[in-house]
Chains A and B, each alone.
Chain A
Amino acid sequence: MKKLSLWLMLIIFAGLTGNLSAQELTPPVKAPQADFISQGSSHTLAEYRGKKVMLWLFSTWCHTCAAGVKALAEKHKEWKQHGLIILALRNYNNGGYPGADVEQFIAHYSPPSATRNWVKGEASEEMNKRYNSRQYPDIYFLINEQGVIQEQGTAPAVFIKKIIDFARSDTQKEAVQ
């Protein structure tokens, strides 16, 4: 019991010190540049400068991610109306565990018409290191037109209201002010 307690304390201590040294993207912060693959070609986040973007990294074995696809697909009219672009990217190597590719996964949980305008692809290793260093099953970033991350979180189905508020916000006007 004493040895177990000692190990637990070591792990907690390592966790605290590890946390302090881990690179974190704490909003508001400029979104680091990174690339991803979509439809067979490489793209960068810089291409979406001037637009409101939801960058969502997820793994296709994850139930929370399935719920996220459904929840986001249900609000597709909202995203279209307010010009929010959804970058739905599979974690590099699917987060290290095998699973469906991103197109199959999204098609399984939503009607094609609801996700037609999504940018679907796979994150590069570099993007995963910068945006998902802790290897969460899923993580999303709400990036405004100025390329600043305003919000981050996991499980978009749970925080759909925050995403709607971001889509509806006039971030260009806020930047001027």
Chain B
Amino acid sequence: MDIWGQIADGASWALLVAGALFCMAGGVGILRFPDVYTRSHAAGVVDTAGAILILVGLMIQAGLTLITVKLIIILFFLLFTGPAATHALVKAALSGGQMPLTGPRGKGE
């Protein structure tokens, strides 16, 4: 493997690991945050930063091929549908009468 291949491999691994760490942090946040609205923020980390970093890492692995094109299309699909799903969830919680907790730590002012 030439030097550029090694650099690309390293960059790709760094991105994959960073994406995995963001996903883990988001998962921890989903468990720890107090209500559905704050939890949706933690889930947002998983389906934006986590997805972007992992997919870009995979694109570097795939190189300039049609697979990369498909990964780009997957990324755009996720970035268009993710917020729609999050918004639907939050709006359903609001319609269901869930009042957002406010104030420091979400425990009231």
Tell me if chain B binds chain A.
no
